[in-house]
Structure 1
């Protein structure tokens, strides 16, 4: 089971990459008592039957994870959301992609902690594969003021080089942390 919300989102991004998505878009919108997550990809998508089975913890397609007999990521996510008075919607179309709309109720004591967003972004950018990942991180304060930043994997790779090299990874980590610190201090 995942300890934090960022761990759950990382699992969803990994699902998109493993579904051969070329373009993944993640919006993280933090309001006073809620976190809104929108994840869209152009991966292989699912039929209606596959979509329903993805919610079953005792089902795995046997393709993506050949050695797994169960698929717990989405079922655990749904269970967490339901226990903490949030909302979950998933739409998918075969050969078109998948969209998830999630709302976590941060005011509910059963909602896991948010976790390490810069760590999530770092791990998401470092997965193997040729995919574009665009992340929009936004905070909406009580007065309605918005602050945020956007990260694009290809732009960061152009500047830093191969994320699998330690120097590039250190620079990427420091940059991501600085973006988050500036956002929270604003």
Structure 2
């Protein structure tokens, strides 16, 4: 699984939304010098209460046993956030969707590195079966990228050239908040 960076966790939670058949996923990232907060919110229909109460148990998964016998992503996320003094929260409503929130304190010696956010965003945005909204803030600077805005500017991402332009766009947006 290799959840060694915060961006790995974001990708893992977003993949959970995809696997749960979400049509719309919103990722929010608010980063400061000391804190890294993210949320992943979907409209996939929610998590049943009997699963939600055991969601951080590594032996609980909603996937077929032939596919995955254990679910380690959420327990690893919870452990990683709590090691820094942060938290992981999950709110879910049947018929509506699920929101996973996580807070890391970056100054804590146990905080994982942020990792490759650009690569994570790029990979997720290539999945055209989901309407994505990604809001990324670094201190007071923010940007938002959506599936709709990408389609407006690039059309369908159906060639290596368009994939390259998309990656460059995400890099430019990320660089714009770092200056």
Contact 1:33 / 1:107 at 8 angstroms: preserved in 2? yes
What residue is the counterpart of 2:81 in the other structure?
81
User: How is 1:19-58 mapped onto 2 (pairs within 5 angstroms)?
Assistant: 19-58=20-59
SS of the residue corresponding to residue 53 of structure 2 reads helix
Judge which range, 153-162 or 92-101, deviates more: 153-162
RMSD: 1.5
4+ aligned runs moved over 3 Å, structure 1: none
Structure 1, gaps ≥5 residues long: 141-145
What residue is the counterpart of 2:148 in the other structure?
154
Alignment CA distance shift 1:57-1:128 (3 Å): farther
Residues 163-182 of structure 1, C-alpha deviations (whole Å, 9 max, x = no match):
35211110000110011111
Q: How many residues align?
A: 178
Structure 2, gaps ≥5 residues long: none
SS of the residue corresponding to residue 82 of structure 1 reads helix
The 1-side partners of 2:110 and 2:127 are apart by 30
Contact 1:126 / 1:164 at 8 angstroms: preserved in 2? no
Give TM-score scaled by structure 1 length: 0.89
The 2-side partners of 1:118 and 1:31 are apart by 17
What residue is the counterpart of 2:162 in the other structure?
168
1:128 Cα offset (Å): 5.2
